[in-house]
Structure 1
Amino acid sequence: MKAVLFDLDGTLIDTAADFVRIIQDMCREESREIVPAELIRTQVSEGARAMVKLVYPELEVTDPILLAHRQRFLDLYGADIAVDTDLFDGMYPLLEALETRSIPWGIVTNKPRWLSESLLAALNLTERCSVLVCPEDVGHTKPHPEPMYLAAKQIEIAPQDCIYVGDHPRDIEAGRAAEMYTILAAYGYLPLEHRDDLAAWRADCIVQSVEELHQCIQALVLKPVLG
């Protein structure tokens, strides 16, 4: 393996605390029942609309009122994108290990580009990230393999020589379709309906922590340099 690509929310970066803060603030403003933090975490990978629907369960996802609340949520998030957000514990040493060996790492996400770029800038990762592929860059988003192929092309490494790490079935499906080595980040924001049978995702490897992820990548990419 010659490169490592990550999903963003719930895989590389632990963004849930900021989503929890905004969603629960919206509940308080509307005098609605506070949505539990753990439930919000399970919806992060489903996008802003799914998280906002937790506050307004009576509204259809296409309802203009819900879409207006979704835009307000995005505006609030964009204004304070990294208040309680950081890389998952142990991820900084992993990225440093990759960089020390000149192994490129990048991101393939379904998060909009303006939010992704703002988040990377807030965490001083912009210059370190070798490639960032967002929905605006492709005609088909994950689980379609097009974003994976584009990321591999931009770093000039064959897809089959790339690792893709993700915490949602669509991540694994996209990686597999592109013939990448797939790693399921079970420490991430696993959707409720898919968390009970992780083997069904058909990932090449399942890790329960960033430490296990580091060990897996160590075996695949970061092999010891012989003196």
Structure 2
Amino acid sequence: MSVHAMALNWPLQPQAVLFDLDGTLADTAGDLGGALNRLRVQRGLAPMPLDLLRPHASAGARGLIAVGLDIHPGHAEYETLRLAFLDAYTHCLSDTTALFDGVAELLDQLEQAGLKWGVVTNKPHRFTIPVMQGLGLDQRSMSTISGDSTAHAKPHPLPLLTACEQLKSDPAATLYVGDDLRDIQAAQAAGTRSAAAAWGYIGHGQDIQDWGADVIAQRPLDLLTVLGLNPR
């Protein structure tokens, strides 16, 4: 069973931390929800409140179209709506997106401790880079892997292994942090340690305790304890 934030027994000295982007490093739900609501308005529907959309934000277009329009992959309209959603999102990538509370301090302390960090997301590259630029992190991240950067996306281990290769970090000495079951599955498959981000977009009906993460972090700065660093 997963344990809450505590120092892990690392087989090697921790070398790097990798983060999921949406719902882990940054709160992007407002902009993703805004794109979905543009589609609803175009169809004569009222915008949905963000608190109803937020739990589905980590699932991107698929999750938001499902909850907002009740249309799923395989439906005749799905692909058209998916492309329309992505087009709408290009116009609001950084309107409200911001780092979660504590993330800026966490990244500062990782860098001060000499730990490398990067991002592994299923978000397409054409969206990942502008969002990272808007957050002021594009030059600080030492590896940024998007959903279309490798032949497979999470939960396949290849994106994480590619990031570890770029960072020159041993997977066993790398922590991956994410707010979705796919993130934990990818970490397990890649042989990294895993932390479930309880502050993220945990979907309705999901029990984070069941994911099998090495630890559950309630807030970003808890990761300092996980890594054996003393919070300053």
TM-score by length of 1: 0.88
Aligned to 2:123: 111
SS of alignment partner, residue 201 of structure 2: coil
SS of alignment partner, residue 119 of structure 2: strand
SS of alignment partner, residue 165 of structure 1: strand
2:93 to 77, 81, 94: 81
Tell me if the contact between 1:11 and 1:167 (Cα under 8 Å) persists in the aligned partners.
yes
Taking the TM superposition and a 5 Å limit, the aligned residue runs for 1:129-208 are 129-194=141-206, 197-208=207-218
Which structure 1 residue ranges, 4+ long, deviate > 6 Å from structure 2?
A: none
Which amino acid in 2 is paired with 1:19? Answer: L
- Structure 1, unmatched stretches of 5+, are none
SS of alignment partner, residue 41 of structure 1: helix
Separation in 1, partners of 2:76, 2:199:
34
Shift in CA distance, 120/224, structure 1 to aligned 2, threshold 3 Å: closer
Q: Deviations over 1:29-84 (max 9, x none)?
A: 32224433223112111121221233321x44233533222212211211220100
Which amino acid in 1 is paired with 2:201? Answer: Y
Separation in 1, partners of 2:153, 2:124:
11
Aligned-residue sequence identity (percent) comes to 35
Aligned to 1:121: 133
Separation in 2, partners of 1:3, 1:55:
37
Separation in 1, partners of 2:231, 2:20:
26
Q: Deviations over 1:124-149 (max 9, x none)?
A: 21110000112222222211211111
Give 1:25 deviation, angstroms. 3.3
Q: Deviations over 1:183-210 (max 9, x none)?
A: 100110012232xx32211111112222
TM-score by length of 2: 0.87
Which amino acid in 1 is paired with 2:30? Answer: A
Q: Deviations over 1:10-45 (max 9, x none)?
A: 000100011222322332332224433223112111
Shift in CA distance, 181/60, structure 1 to aligned 2, threshold 3 Å: closer
Query: Considering only aligned residues, what root-mean-square deviation do their CA atoms show, in Å?
Result: 2.0
**Aligned length, in residue pairs:** 219
For structure 1, which segment, 48-57 or 169-178, has the greater mean C-alpha deviation from structure 2 after superposition? 48-57
- Structure 2, unmatched stretches of 5+, are 1-13
Bigger helix share: 1
Aligned to 1:49: 62
Separation in 1, partners of 2:89, 2:47:
18
SS of alignment partner, residue 115 of structure 1: helix
Tell me if the contact between 1:56 and 1:66 (Cα under 8 Å) persists in the aligned partners.
no
For structure 1, which segment, 14-23 or 25-34, has the greater mean C-alpha deviation from structure 2 after superposition? 25-34
Relative contact order: is structure 1 or structure 2 higher (C-alpha 8 Å, sep ≥ 6)?
2
Q: Deviations over 1:132-182 (max 9, x none)?
A: 112222222211211111111111010000010000011011112222111
SS of alignment partner, residue 77 of structure 2: helix
Tell me if the contact between 2:38 and 2:88 (Cα under 8 Å) persists in the aligned partners.
no
Shift in CA distance, 136/219, structure 1 to aligned 2, threshold 3 Å: closer
Taking the TM superposition and a 5 Å limit, the aligned residue runs for 1:19-38 are 19-38=32-51
